Amino acid sequence: MRIAIAYTNPTGGPLVDADGHVAGNDAGATLVRRLLRVFPGARLIGPRAQDCEGFEVVPLTGIDPERTVVINMGVVDSTELWRTLARQTPEPHVMNFLWQAVTHWRHPVERSALALSCALFPTFANSERTAFEAREVMRQLTVAPLAERAVLAWVNLGIRLEHVQPRRRVDVPVVLYPAIYLSERKQPRLFMDVVERVHARTPIRVEMRLHESHLVSEPAMRLSQNDWAWVGPLTASRESYWEALSRTTAFLATATEESYGLEYVEALVAGAVGVFPDRPWARAILPARYPYLYTDAAQAEALLLRAVTDPARCRAELDACVGGDFQGWLRARHDDDLFEKAIAERVVEWFGA
């Protein structure tokens, strides 16, 4: 069996760049690169055949459906994908990779399509929380016989721990906006309101690295007018990304919902102090006694102020909340080796590939 990955760039841009690499630095593109690494020889499904750097792009009609497992990252499209492949073979091999929160799909038609897809095709979720949400939407929007027979597995995505760099000293504390989009779900205005109040009390430098489609948005322009804030494009490479994290003092998470929270875990492992909303998605990736959870903007301000004025003490409190080694706790639970092993095992279990 061969592996083919079905993925659509959410920005509408190309799948690969001019140099033959997977285009983009968002979570979806990063996961495509991971899958290509996990499954050597895997191909990426695209509009036309193309030889790329270490992999091939092929149209859906160009694969052998009897000898190929299609890992579909566009879960709501799996039934349509299956019907296309079924023109060539009676039993196409399709599995879902559910890497976004179920709340990402809001329209009733999309949510129903998602529920049906998860009920019909083996589904691998990016976290326990996402898997639970998938079970719930199947229970609510499909018939019991389908929901009860659903095949579902999960593991935390994790990060590549070898990328982490030693901490770097900064003269002015750096506060990171821990996302690349300014969508409503991320609540960027709450972020900006809090950091503006913190800056009024102590010197900080705010950094916001955004996808190019959000650089000229009103919130980005508003923040960039401050001489203590830097708003710019994504880093050019993973190395420069981790270098930037190594000098980040703290970050303020404001999202209402996340399926996993890859950017937050990366920043935590890099040594930044994370201030999180007290929401289920945040508690799912943090230890039970994590001390920097807020319920309103005033509490967020107070916690972020502590993080930037005394980060050493905050890191000591993080160690104490897990009994001694917060970094060790994170590394044991968010290592991408666990993800790679788990998804490879599920493909073998479900398809013998």
The tens digit of pLDDT for each residue in 299-332 reads: 999 999 999 999 999 999 999 999 999 999 998 8
Q: Using the Cα atoms of residue 266, residue 271, residue 276 and residue 279 in order, give the sign of their dihedral.
A: positive
Q: What is the pLDDT of residue 12?
A: 75
Residue 353 has pLDDT above 70, yes or no: no
Segment 225-231 mean pLDDT: 94
Contacts of 322 (CB under 8 A, 6+ apart): 287, 289, 328, 329
pLDDT of residue 84: 95
How far apart CA 274 and CA 110 sit, in angstroms, is 33
pLDDT-derived band at 178 (thresholds 50, 70, 90) equals: very high
pLDDT per residue as tens digits for the range 81-122: 999 999 999 999 999 999 998 988 989 999 999 999 999 999
| Residue 101, pLDDT score | 87
Is the pLDDT reported for residue 289 higher than 90? yes
Q: Who contacts 213 (Cβ-Cβ below 8 Å, separation ≥6)?
A: 11
Tell me the mean pLDDT in the region 63-67. Answer: 94
Please state, rounded to an integer, the average pLDDT across all residues of the chain.
Answer: 93
What is the mean pLDDT of the segment spanning 203-213?
92
Show the domains of the chain with their CATH numbers.
2-157+336-351 (no CATH), 161-333 (3.40.50.2000)
Question: What's the pLDDT tens digit per position in 14-50?
Answer: 889 888 999 877 788 889 999 999 999 999 999 999 9
